[in-house]
């Protein structure tokens, strides 16, 4: 019954789950228990997916995500259950241990293939004479008009011929009169070609948020598992023992981007046209605003520019070389590379800008997802069939035998109180034990225990004084029986004082702490030199030899 949430207060502790530990590798998350675990009647409704039981344990909890929306895992033990809101608690003989593993959350986007576009359309020109639309390769070389596989001329691929002169697209000398007469007038032939890589363009549609939560319940040697997620919000274990319901919406997510105004471009995989597989190499995947594209290719200076747009541009011969071919994929790619060299985030590339791209479960060959980095609680309603559960719920008196507080270790600011209790009655029974100190000590979590007749049990409570000034504290240990009635109480006091970090045990009459580096009692003069508070003693009427003992028979008399 160890906990890593020491701040839970006494009242919170009625929530009856006892956290054994948080297994998240880098992150300790606090789980919120939204209600007590309750024992309820199983109602038979017409729905399928009900537990086949007469009684069930119902609990409600919130599981946060790990850092950056990553995986989270918690383990909790259900120690008690409340019988029909009577405040009467029942303890399990074999407490079910609950493990909840929540996967990282992701946003998955629908993709619609649109078309392929060239990465880098290029303008070519050839200095020639006799440039004509239908000139052959001897005259216009690369700018000869193109034919398709059926030998049909491809429209708008013919060269555009510009006369020579200084004010031209490519300024050129017109040569001498003799050349002009003999060979024809000098000119330049211009054309656009798409020699390099091609990219697939996808429209981005609706997004859906996904994650999965695996709930495992171990009772003795029996293990039951249930997997739920936004698609399957309710599920039941194969053995009909556990039912889990994911409650509520994911309205909490506020910063999942919507890419409805963007297209996704990825390098062509294999041939032209819609790819079967988008591949796993994300290094050149980019998201670009839709307005940067011309889907029919008829606009200049947009991604997807066509032969038609290029050849049809107005004032062709007097416009600058390469006009109509700006703002292409390669320009955006290079802009990103410049930013990356300056250690800035890319503006268009997806890598480096998003986490866990396409790492969702069952990521297929044709998907686009990004990790959701927001930390969000998932509310779960967990029901366990309670028909075969055994309880320990007999009542028996008990006593607190001792409270023992060893000195705080030097250089730490907390210590551990150990409280020994015994069952003074005739039957095995459950108890609760609390240890509360005056307000300057952080509230400690209530502990639940089961003791056989005459059995003694020792429980530890960590003390965290909130102040680093010398102070006195009054504490009370309270033992309650299974009906939550107080059966014994012991009070005690302790004080802390300041100390110095010097290295000598200046006549310390007590067992020095393990590190042996601190003088405890000559330090009053050294308060100005104070670094750490150290628990000195319990005021018990006895000389404290490193610990304090309080007999429960003398309760309330300090
Ligand atoms: C429910 O459990 C009872 C007793 O174990 C059994 O007889 C009955 O067939 C079960 N019903 C269903 C729907 O599984
Ligand atoms: C509540 O407890 C009483 C006494 O044990 C019992 O008679 C009653 O049926 C219980 N009610 C429910 C709803 O379980
Ligand atoms: C839950 O997660 C923890 C930590 O990641 C892992 O050790 C454990 O095996 C997981 N449990 C199940 C049932 O997958
Ligand atoms: C949801 O349930 C259906 C039918 O029970 C199952 O086929 C599917 O795999 C489940 N999906 C997830 C994500 O568990
Ligand atoms: C991914 O693609 C880039 C650009 O095409 C290439 O340089 C890189 O080697 C590829 N990486 C892998 C792992 O194939
Ligand atoms: C403390 O004193 C002892 C004995 O004088 C010495 O051996 C030890 O190194 C000292 N420790 C520190 C931390 O100064």
pLDDT at 343: 94
Q: Residue 99 CA: which ligand is closest?
A: 3
CATH of domain 396-497: 2.60.40.3880
For residue 232 and ligand 4, the question of a CB distance below 6 A is answered with yes
Cα–ligand 4 centroid distance for 41 (angstroms): 28
For residue 538, is pLDDT > 50? no
- Residue 275 CA from chain centroid, whole number: 32
Cα–ligand 6 centroid distance for 410 (angstroms): 14
List 420's β-bridge partners, or say none.
402, 458
pLDDT confidence band for 450 (50 / 70 / 90): confident
Count CB-CB contacts under 10 A for residue 235.
18
Q: Quick one: which atom of ligand 5 is closest to the CA of 282?
A: 1
User: Which residue's CA lies nearest to atom 8 of ligand 2?
Assistant: 84
Cα–ligand 5 centroid distance for 203 (angstroms): 24
Q: What is the mean pLDDT of residues 277-291?
A: 94
Q: What is the mean pLDDT of the chain?
A: 77
Q: What is the mean pLDDT of residues 425-448?
A: 83
Cα–ligand 2 centroid distance for 84 (angstroms): 6
For residue 349, is pLDDT > 90? yes
- Give the start-end residues of each E strand in 393-523: 398-404, 415-423, 429-437, 447-451, 456-463, 471-480, 486-499
Least confident span in 300-304, 415-419, 433-437: 415-419
User: Which residue's CA lies nearest to atom 6 of ligand 2?
Assistant: 84
For residue 43, is pLDDT > 60? yes
pLDDT at 533: 33
Would you say 369 and 106 are in contact if contact means Cβ atoms under 8 Å apart?
Answer: yes
CA atoms within 13 A on the CB side of 558: 22
Q: Which residue has the higher pLDDT, 391 or 421?
A: 421
Ligand 2, pocket residues at CB < 6 Å: 41, 83-84
Ligand 6 mutation pick, 503, 508, 515, max ligand atoms within 8 A of CB: 503
Ligand 3 mutation pick, 20, 63, 73, max ligand atoms within 8 A of CB: 73
Q: Which pLDDT tens digit goes with each residue over 470-482? A: 677 788 999 998 7
Express as a percent the part of the chain with pLDDT over 90.
36
List, edge to edge, every strand of the sheet that includes 456-463. Answer: 398-404, 415-423, 456-463
Would you say 396 and 453 are in contact if contact means Cβ atoms under 8 Å apart?
Answer: yes
pLDDT at 250: 54
- Give the start-end residues of each E strand in 322-405: 368-371, 378-385, 391-392, 398-404
Cα–ligand 5 centroid distance for 330 (angstroms): 16
Q: Which residue has the higher pLDDT, 184 or 265?
A: 265
- Give the start-end residues of each E strand in 103-185: 106-118, 122-129, 160-163
Q: Residue 236 CA: which ligand is closest?
A: 4
Q: Quick one: which atom of ligand 4 is closest to the CA of 228?
A: 14
Ligand 5, pocket residues at CB < 6 Å: 281, 283-284
Q: Quick one: which atom of ligand 5 is closest to the CA of 267?
A: 5
pLDDT at 140: 84
User: Which residue's CA lies nearest to atom 7 of ligand 4?
Assistant: 232
Q: Residue 284 CA: which ligand is closest?
A: 5
Cα–Cα distance list, 217 to 5, 62, 81, 208, 387 (Å) = 22, 17, 16, 29, 15
Rounded CA separation 114/101 (Å): 39
Ligand 5 mutation pick, 281, 284, 349, max ligand atoms within 8 A of CB: 281
State the pTM of this model.
0.62
pLDDT confidence band for 112 (50 / 70 / 90): very high
Most confident of 26-35, 320-329, 479-488: 320-329
Would you say 34 and 51 are in contact if contact means Cβ atoms under 8 Å apart?
Answer: no
User: Which residue's CA lies nearest to atom 9 of ligand 6?
Assistant: 503
pLDDT at 125: 92
Q: Residue 388 CA: which ligand is closest?
A: 1
User: Which residue's CA lies nearest to atom 6 of ligand 6?
Assistant: 503
Rounded CA separation 493/475 (Å): 6
Dig out the tokens for 106 from the structure: 């992701």
Q: Which of 98, 115, 108 is nearest to 63 (CA)?
A: 98
For residue 21, is pLDDT > 50? no
- Give the start-end residues of each E strand in 237-371: 242-247, 262-267, 286-289, 368-371
Would you say 519 and 500 are in contact if contact means Cβ atoms under 8 Å apart?
Answer: yes
For residue 517 and ligand 6, the question of a CB distance below 6 A is answered with yes
Query: What are the boundaries of each domain within the chain?
Result: 13-104+211-255+372-392, 111-115+198-203+257-371, 122-193+518-549, 396-497
Q: Which of 122, 134, 190, 185 is nearest to 162 (CA)?
A: 190
Cα–ligand 2 centroid distance for 485 (angstroms): 21
Cα–ligand 3 centroid distance for 73 (angstroms): 7
User: Which residue's CA lies nearest to atom 1 of ligand 3?
Assistant: 101
User: Which residue's CA lies nearest to atom 3 of ligand 6?
Assistant: 503
Ligand 4 mutation pick, 227, 232, 237, 246, max ligand atoms within 8 A of CB: 232
Q: Which residue has the higher pLDDT, 518 or 134?
A: 134
């Amino acid at each position: 019954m160890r906990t890593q949430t020491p701040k839970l207060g006494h009242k919170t502790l009625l929530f009856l789950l006892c956290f054994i530990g948080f297994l998240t590798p880098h992150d300790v998350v606090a789980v919120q228990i939204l209600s007590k675990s309750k024992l309820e009647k199983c109602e038979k409704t017409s729905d399928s997916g009900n537990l086949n039981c007469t009684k069930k344990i119902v609990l409600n909890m919130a599981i946060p995500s790990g850092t950056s929306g990553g995986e989270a895992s918690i383990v909790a033990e259900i120690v008690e259950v409340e019988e029909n809101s009577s405040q009467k608690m029942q303890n399990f003989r074999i407490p079910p241990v609950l493990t909840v593993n929540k996967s990282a959350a992701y946003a998955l986007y629908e993709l619609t293939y649109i078309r392929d576009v060239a990465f880098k359309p290029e303008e070519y020109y050839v200095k020639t004479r006799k440039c004509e639309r239908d000139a052959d390769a001897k005259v216009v070389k690369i700018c000869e008009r193109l034919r398709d596989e059926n030998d049909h001329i491809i429209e708008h691929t013919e060269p555009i011929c510009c006369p020579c002169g200084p004010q031209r697209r490519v300024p050129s000398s017109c040569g001498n009169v003799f050349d002009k007469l003999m060979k024809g007038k000098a000119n330049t032939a211009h054309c656009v070609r798409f020699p390099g890589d091609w990219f697939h363009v996808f429209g981005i549609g609706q997004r859906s948020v996904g994650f999965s939560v695996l709930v495992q319940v171990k009772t003795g040697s029996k293990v039951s598992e249930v997997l739920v997620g936004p698609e399957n919000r309710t599920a039941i274990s194969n053995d009909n023992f556990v039912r889990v319901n994911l409650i509520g919406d994911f309205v909490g997510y506020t910063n999942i981007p919507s890419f409805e105004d963007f297209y996704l471009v990825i390098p062509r995989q294999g041939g032209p046209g819609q790819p079967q597989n988008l591949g796993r190499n994300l290094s050149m995947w980019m998201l670009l605003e839709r307005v940067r594209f011309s889907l029919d290719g008829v606009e200049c200076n947009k991604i997807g520019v066509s032969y038609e747009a290029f050849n049809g541009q107005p004032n062709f011969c007097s416009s600058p070389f390469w006009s109509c071919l700006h703002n292409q994929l390669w320009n955006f790619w290079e802009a990103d590379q410049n930013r990356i060299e300056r250690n800035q985030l890319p503006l268009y590339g997806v890598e480096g800008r998003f986490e866990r791209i396409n790492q969702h479960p069952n990521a297929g060959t044709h998907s686009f997802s990004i990790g959701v980095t927001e930390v969000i609680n998932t509310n779960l309603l967990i029901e366990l069939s309670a028909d075969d559960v055994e309880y320990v719920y007999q009542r028996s008196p008990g006593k607190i035998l001792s409270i023992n507080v060893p000195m705080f270790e030097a250089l730490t600011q907390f210590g551990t109180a150990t409280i020994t209790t015994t069952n003074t009655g005739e039957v095995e029974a459950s108890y609760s034990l609390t240890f509360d100190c005056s307000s300057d000590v952080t509230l400690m979590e209530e502990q639940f225990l089961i003791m056989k007749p005459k059995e003694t049990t020792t429980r530890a409570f960590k003390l965290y004084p909130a102040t680093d000034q010398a102070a006195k504290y009054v504490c009370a240990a309270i033992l309650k029986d299974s009906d939550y009635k107080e059966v014994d109480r012991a009070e005690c006091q302790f004080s802390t004082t300041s100390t110095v970090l010097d290295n000598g045990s200046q006549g310390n009459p007590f067992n020095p702490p393990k590190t042996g580096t601190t003088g405890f009692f000559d330090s009053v003069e050294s308060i100005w030199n104070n670094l750490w508070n150290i628990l000195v003693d319990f005021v018990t009427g006895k000389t404290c030899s490193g610990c304090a003992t309080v007999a429960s028979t003398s309760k309330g008399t300090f």
